[in-house]
Structure 1
Amino acid sequence: MFSSFFSTAPPTDPQSPNFHPISSKLKPTELFGELQPKDTELLCTSSGFVTETQIFYITTPDGKSIMCQLIHSSVGLWYPTIQFTCKIYDSEVQKSTWKSIHVTNFTCAPPGSDRRSCKADEFSFTYKSKPDSDYPESYTVHANPAPEVQIFLEVTRPVSASGWKVGSGDEGGYSKFGPDPSNPEGYVIHRFWPLVKASGHLVINGKATPVEGQGMFVHAIQGMRPNLVAASWNFGNFQSPDLGGVSAIQMEFTTPTAYGMKGAGSGGVTVNIGSLVVGGKLVAVTAETRSPGDANDADAPVKSRVAHLKPVMDPDTSYHKPCELLFEWAGPSILPDKPGNYKASVNVDVGDLQHPKGLVEKVDVLAEIPKVLKMAVNYVAGTKPYIYQWMNPAKLAINEPGSDAPVEVNGYMYMESTFIS
């Protein structure tokens, strides 16, 4: 969902743990942290190496996917680079429209708004608050990234699906890098709206198409050169209008060897966070940490993971792409009237190299990043970061607390697998 590939020299103390994941700090009952207003304020910093993004993912009942993204990148020595990207994909005809532009006259907290809103000549994200209503928060998304593409969306969060981060308070959501977590070398944080309703329309090549659907919103920040955050990423976003609204989202990254739970050289630590919405209500937040060599505990009360099944070498990318992806969630209910554990899983067939299924694009990351960022990281020449993107019909199996019989829900699953090193 959010990946880059920049690098500095790794920490040098081999004796100290130099990675402190939020997913290992909390008890299962402490995972849900409700978002506060400041959590979705934009930093838009111009100092240090900070990459910040806000992304809306919308899925329609007929299998269209709409992604709108702000990327604010600071590389320390240069003025921040600000991009707007969007991708519109129609799974029925397997056609995508992709735009990525550098915006002009960018403003964070435009007049009349706080730092949850921003605008430029080419797009605007406008936050609105309606306390004590069924939809207490919303964004209006307007974008005109090219003469042939216009996007107009109203995105609202239902009160029953709280925004979340892993853990509460100011430290909630932060995974920190470096021997001293009180003075970290860097960090990564994600904040989510797990379910949103969207309405509006698209105009592509002069043809207007109405949009009604549901999806999710994420605000993510990487406060360091990000190829030391992760060697790989996975992201899954299942959406279905059934049962009054079902959403299952998951983000996972695996650290490179430089950062691990036992100091430099012990990396390969996997952090996975996610959530389940059933019946329009946020019912569980999940998180798991796995270090190299950890046993696979099938009976763990909290299990949140992605498995790449039947991997094959892709000569286009030199990475082993999966032919199937398995996403699993398990965690304690946050509903007071329904104690126990929720579980869910979805297995998606994405096909082999000769017969791909639902492949939206294989993104050559080096071809997409701004030139100034390439200059800042020219020493990574020889790496080939790629993102595989898929959109497929899928069936999510949900086990509610106290029930051994899963409920199966039909919907669509948007997935990304990113290989960096």
Structure 2
Amino acid sequence: MLKWVQSGLSAVAGTAEPEYGREAIHTITDSIVNGNGDVAVSRDTTIKDFNWLCLDYTNVETQTFYFTDLVNKYAGFAQIIHSNLMGVHTTAQFTFRLFHHDEDKAEDNIWTSTKLENFRTDGSNFYADKVSFELNDDNTTYTLKSHVTEEALVELTVTRLTPGVIFGKDGTTYYGDDVANPWGSMRHLFWPRCTVNGTVKTPTQTFEISGYTMFVMALQGMKPHHAAKAWNFMNFHSKTYSAVQMEFTTPISYANTKVNVGIISKDGEIVLATINNVVLHQDPKEDPGVGWHVPTAITFKYIKDKKEEVAKDDDVVVGSVSGPLTTLVERVDVMAEIPQLVKNIVSGVVGTKPYIYQYCNEFDIEVGQDKEKGLGFTEVTFISE
């Protein structure tokens, strides 16, 4: 029993890390700001950027479409997860969610999470039994087919409208004393505005999906609670604009360092790619029994100036997305499936208490003199104090 608990702790959470300090994290934003002008804020992605890396140590790679059907008011995401535990055990999962923005119908709220069998990667493509996920040769269209569960037969075609975006040279934040030999990493790259068309079939009905989506590939090359203690994520689509912002804050081990990247696109163009943005939690309320203070409204500010000292100066805010967090799609207790004894030890030893709060609400976007309403999907994640 003790060895089982120890292995569970190692696999799920590990132990608390020493305080390495700010010098032990080399953020993607550092490489841009301190690069003496030789590193651009962002560059266009290539087809090779989306190749699965399949690292041989603990890591999780994901490819995710966050889609919005503005006419029928459906939103959701389709995600492939490829993970490696300690270099000895590789798994893959397909997760899918569909929900209606303002109708509380159980049949319109679909959630599936299915373990995949006989999976393999092939460059940027992924295959498993009853699943295929393929990028076409001209790097413009992804096709996803998943018949892995009868609860949701998913067939979606995604075509990008703008160039892809990767921040800095490789979109990667490195953890460790030596940036050339890091012990952990975090990487993100995006297709910020795409069209999405297809169907989702359940045993009782068929949903026609037609709208916009944002596609993101992510790599978390270390244990999750060592990489970040909190996340803020927003994906917004309106008739004209798409916006994404992703922020994580490291644990005290890495000096509570914030890393934030954001993109605003309009029709077929990238309007902004920014690295010094601000997320404001507004009117937070305590989640009883959990203790996290969860916002009831949120604002994502896009800051053009790179200098930290002016990051909260409204004069350099070049865009914002804001709105209430009133429609809770899901409150996810990440450790719900972990045995209670392990959960208690993890919480007591490490201070880990991960919860994800997912919302879908009508938001406002402001860019210059433009103001438009759209639909925003937001995740506010708390992992550790």
Same topology, TM > 0.5: yes
1:276 aligns with 2:276: no
1:44 offset after TM fit, Å?
Answer: 2.5
State the alpha-carbon separation in 1 of the partners of residues 268 and 69 from structure 2. 16
Q: Is the 8 A contact 2:278 2:303 kept in 1?
A: no
Name the structure 1 match of 2:119: 106
Gap runs ≥5 in structure 1: 110-114, 131-135, 260-266, 289-303, 333-340, 351-356, 400-405
State the alpha-carbon separation in 2 of the partners of residues 146 and 316 from structure 1. 34
Name the structure 2 match of 1:223: 221
State the alpha-carbon separation in 2 of the partners of residues 197 and 188 from structure 1. 27
Q: Is the 8 A contact 1:5 1:228 kept in 2?
A: no
1:378 offset after TM fit, Å?
Answer: 8.9
Residue identity (%): 34
In structure 1, the residue corresponding to 2:275 is in which secondary structure?
Answer: strand
1:328 aligns with 2:331: no
Change (3 A) 1:17 1:53: same
Q: Is the 8 A contact 2:20 2:253 kept in 1?
A: no
Gap runs ≥5 in structure 2: 1-10, 306-315
In structure 1, the residue corresponding to 2:49 is in which secondary structure?
Answer: helix
Name the structure 2 match of 1:128: 136
Deviations 1:351-370 (A, max 9, x none): xxxxxx2110101111368x
In structure 1, the residue corresponding to 2:336 is in which secondary structure?
Answer: helix
Deviations 1:325-368 (A, max 9, x none): 11111338xxxxxxxx8811122111xxxxxx211010111136
Name the structure 2 match of 1:315: 288
State the alpha-carbon separation in 2 of the partners of residues 377 and 196 from structure 1. 40
Name the structure 2 match of 1:345: 320
In structure 2, the residue corresponding to 1:367 is in which secondary structure?
Answer: coil
Name the structure 1 match of 2:69: 60
Aligned residues: 353
In structure 2, the residue corresponding to 1:30 is in which secondary structure?
Answer: coil
Change (3 A) 1:198 1:150: same
State the alpha-carbon separation in 2 of the partners of residues 199 and 53 from structure 1. 21
Name the structure 1 match of 2:31: 25
Name the structure 1 match of 2:312: none
Name the structure 1 match of 2:13: 6
Q: Is the 8 A contact 1:94 1:358 kept in 2?
A: no
Name the structure 2 match of 1:301: none
Change (3 A) 1:269 1:13: closer
State the alpha-carbon separation in 2 of the partners of residues 420 and 5 from structure 1. 13
In structure 2, the residue corresponding to 1:206 is in which secondary structure?
Answer: coil
Name the structure 2 match of 1:419: 382
1:116 aligns with 2:124: yes
TM-score norm. by structure 2 comes to 0.85
1:252 offset after TM fit, Å?
Answer: 0.2
Tell me which amino acid in the other structure corresponds to 1:76: M
Tell me which amino acid in the other structure corresponds to 2:150: P
State the alpha-carbon separation in 1 of the partners of residues 370 and 174 from structure 2. 37
Tell me which amino acid in the other structure corresponds to 1:285: A
In structure 2, the residue corresponding to 1:162 is in which secondary structure?
Answer: coil
State the alpha-carbon separation in 2 of the partners of residues 185 and 77 from structure 1. 14
Q: Is the 8 A contact 1:106 1:120 kept in 2?
A: yes
Give the one of 244, 248, 253 matched to 1:253.
248
Deviations 1:68-105 (A, max 9, x none): 11111111253212111011111131342111111111
Deviations 1:190-223 (A, max 9, x none): 0111111111111122312211110110000011
Name the structure 2 match of 1:152: 155
Q: 1:160-199 counterparts in 2 under 5 A? A: 161-168=162-169, 172-199=170-197
1:321 offset after TM fit, Å?
Answer: 0.4
Superposed CA RMSD in Å reads: 2.4
TM-score norm. by structure 1 comes to 0.78
Name the structure 1 match of 2:333: 364
Q: Is the 8 A contact 2:301 2:317 kept in 1?
A: no
State the alpha-carbon separation in 1 of the partners of residues 263 and 286 from structure 2. 31
Name the structure 2 match of 1:214: 212
Deviations 1:144-188 (A, max 9, x none): 242131111111112xx11111113xxx21111111111111110
